[in-house]
Amino acid sequence: MTDLARSLRSRLEESACISAPEVVSDSTSADGTRKWLLDVGLGNAIETVFIPEVDRGTLCVSSQAGCAMNCLFCSTGRQGFNRNLTTAEIIGQLWWAEHALRAQRRITAENERVISNVVLMGMGEPLQNLDALLPALRLMLDDNAYGLSRRRVTVSTSGLVQQIDKLATACPVALAVSLHAPNDTLRDRLVPLNRKHPLRELMAACRRYLRHAPRDFITFEYVMLDGVNDSMAQARDLVALVRDVSCKFNLIPFNPFPGSGLARSPSGRIAEFAQVLIDAGIVTTTRRVRGEDIDAACGQLAGEVQDRTRRARRCDAQLPPVVAAAGS
Ligand code: SAH
Ligand code: SF4
């Protein structure tokens, strides 16, 4: 970088280093979805997934090695938490994917971008790693870096209320909230964080976020679990729950993983559930399952985080009563 002043170059030499993420594996699905497993040291790996579509290219980025939230239906959560990723490790996923995809497509034009959207929906709870996330988000938005629109960068959270407020003022981007249940009794079981921040608090945080958000709606994600959260009565309760929040729904067919003890709702039931929301005037989409043949679908982003908590075993022990109660 001889165009930089010599003094700045020597300061950089002392305080910074440039290193690319180390790629453990690189696989491409029959539907074009591409997944990289990246080494983050001490036997841990994280995953980054690129999902090509006709009108956009979306990169699904990880924010932590593992996750402490322990949601019942999530294989990342089942492995426990290892550590927060650094800003470099978060933005490094975008850097790496953009380079790899440009090479694959033989793109040389500087201003032509392959990745148009970024979603923080990989491994981890992004708002639990806000200190590293915020500088990474700013680089995604900065015209001198990636120049993505705020509307095309989405942070997905399981519902950390204070951090939603912080994101609203520090770096408002599109927000997705993982809802998964229409009432506290069920959500307490599916998303344990709900015991700390119940739905009333979460809905209030969503309303506050909307005053800052680059989009005029919150996206609610709702994983469709057979016999657990997919009845028509639950769909109607959901409509009542979100009546004061401008929102869209994204229904996610559950991606089963060994030992989950849960099953995906049949597609007919997902369609009926969606119809209840649509009839109430809520824009509702059902996520297409992508990259299943390379385990790149939602909730399968397990990487190779070492389970130092032995949580997987504890969870399995809890499963039967939890599912039975949730389904009743
Ligand atoms: N921790 C954040 C973002 C990462 S998870 C969050 O929970 O929002 C991204 C999305 O995948 C969330 O909506 C999550 O609930 C969903 N998900 C997790 N496990 C899943 C599974 N097995 N099948 C389908 N969706 C799943
Ligand atoms: Fe963590 Fe999100 Fe998985 Fe819950 S769904 S365990 S918050 S990654």
Whether the per-residue pLDDT at 8 is higher than 80: the answer is yes
Token pair for 157? 């959270």
pLDDT tier for residue 318 given thresholds of 50, 70 and 90: very low
Percent of the chain exceeding pLDDT 90 equals 76
pLDDT number for residue 302:
58
275: pLDDT strictly greater than 90:
yes
Mutate to test the pocket of ligand 1, among 224, 295, 298, 301 (most ligand atoms within 8 A of CB): 298
* Rounded Cα distance, 247 and 235, in Å: 15
Q: Hey, which residues are catalytic here? A: 47, 298
Quick one: pLDDT band at residue 307, thresholds 50, 70, 90? low
Give 134's contacts (C-beta < 8 A, 6+ positions apart).
167, 170, 171
How far, in Å, is the centroid of ligand 2 from the Cα of 282? 25
- The tens digit of pLDDT for each residue in 149-179 reads 999 999 999 999 999 999 999 999 999 999 9
Nearest CA to ligand 1 atom 1: 125
What pTM was estimated for this model as a whole?
Answer: 0.91
Q: Which domains does the chain have, with CATH numbers?
A: 19-308 (3.20.20.70)
**Is 125 touching ligand 2 by the criterion CB < 6 Å?**
yes
Pocket probe for ligand 2: among 61, 71, 73, 195, the residue whose CB has the most ligand atoms within 8 Å is 71
pLDDT at 51 over 90: yes
If you average pLDDT over residues 2-26, what whole number do you get? Answer: 91
- Band of pLDDT at residue 20, cut at 50, 70 and 90: confident
Answer whether residue 265 shows pLDDT above 90: yes
Query: Above 60 in pLDDT, residue 190?
Result: yes
Q: Are 296 and 28 in contact (CB under 8 A)?
A: no
Query: Closest Cα to atom 24, ligand 1: which residue?
Result: 254
